[in-house]
Every structure is written in C-alpha cells, then in structure tokens.
Amino acid sequence: MEVDRAASAAAVGESSSAGAMAVEKPRFEALKPSEMSGGRPQFRKVPVPQHRFAPLKKAWMDIYTPVYEHMKIDIRMNLKARRVELKTRQDTPDVSNLQKCADFVHAFMLGFDISDAVALLRLDDLYVDSFEIKDVKTLRGEHLSRAIGRLSGKGGKTKYAIENSTRTRIVIADTKIHILGSFVNIKVARDSLCSLILGSPAGKVYSKLRAVSARLAERY
C-alpha cells in the first residue's frame, strides 16, 4: 500500500514538473523610443552664448542636416530664449540619439569645428572635457598670458602637436580649455596641457608625448 502511494506521488510530481516546463515564459518586445516615458516626447535645450550666434547662423544647415535627417531628431532655434531645442520624433530609431545630438550642438557652442563635433554622432566613446587654467595653477597678469602662449605655441604649433599625437581636438577659449576625444586620449592631452601650464618647456612635453603615444600604440 505504501509502495503504491509513493509511486502515485512520484507520478504526480513528474506530471506537475512536466506541466511547469510546458509553460512558456512571456516574451515582451523592446519598447520603441516613442513609447518610452509614457509616449511623451523628450527634450534637450542647449543655450547659445552671445559670441556663437553668428557662427551658428552660418553653419545652421550643417548642424540641421545630420541631426534631422540622419539621427531623426527635431531641432529648432528659439531666438527669444537664445537656445537650440531638440525633441524626439515618432520615427527616432534610438532614444540615445537625443543626448548625442545635444552633445554635438554643445560641442559646436564650445568652439569645435562641425567636422570634428559630428564625430560625437557617429562614435559612442567620445567625450568633451573642460577645465580652466586656474584649476591647475593660479596665475594672473603676464604670467597667465605666457601660460596661454605656451599652450598654443608659435602659430598654434604646440596645440596641433598635442592634437595629432593624442588624436584629440583642443579649443583654447581665453582661460578655458575644452578637449574632445576618447577617455584615454583626453587624459594624455590634459596631462600635457597641465605640464605646459605649470611651466614645462615645449620640448620636454613633446618627448614625453612621443613616449606615451608609442605606449598607447602598442596597447591598442
């Protein structure tokens, strides 16, 4: 009798486990960007500095075309609020496109060329890093002017050398410095710029850059 009960209990257990295995897990399709945040469009607003109005007006179509046609993001210039406004559309393929376009417009406002800033739309691992000369060392008067001169070099020679060896783009706007590139390359370029601000001669920075660039080339 006990043997029959054990056999029936085992049979019930097998049937219940088979039934559990037969039940399929529900499959949910990925949400479309238009369905995220309750179907409401998402916005980004990029302020326009006074000195970037004329360049923005001149290069508006170069900014508008990749943002609207390729990234499928609505873009407009709000003259009253003095900012560029971006908004997702129903046919936006990826919700991250909105932030990429905002970074692209912001990079142009910082002073980067369109041809350099547009790389932010195409590549995922590019960033813009900004710092001021006073963050590295407190300089005033002629000392500050000389530090800015060391960063640029004669005819921009030093700046171009750092850009080419680290594969970055650098904008020196008064005492503010903006660097566009990958995380590792930004760090190398920033270290070189900080050395120049602290008073290192350009030749010493060049030799250090060559060593670091060779090391990076071996690693990647």
Summarised one tens digit per residue, pLDDT across range 12-63 is 555 555 554 567 888 888 776 666 666 678 889 999 999 999 999 999 999 9
Dihedrals φ, ψ of 84, to 5°?
-95, 130
Contact 151, 177 (CB under 8 A): yes
Out of 1.10.3720.10, 3.10.110.10, 3.30.1370.10, 2.30.40.10, the CATH code matching 128-218 is 3.30.1370.10
- Residue 173: the pLDDT is 87
Domain 38-124: what homologous superfamily?
A: K Homology domain, type 1 (3.30.1370.10)
pLDDT digits (tens, 9 = 90+) for 52-101: 999 999 999 999 999 998 888 999 999 999 999 999 888 888 888 889 99
Q: How far is CA 156 from CA 36, 163, 171, 192, in A?
A: 47, 11, 11, 15
Domain 38-124 identical in fold to domain 128-218: yes
- Residue 25: the pLDDT is 83
pTM of the model: 0.77
- Domain ranges in the chain? 38-124, 128-218
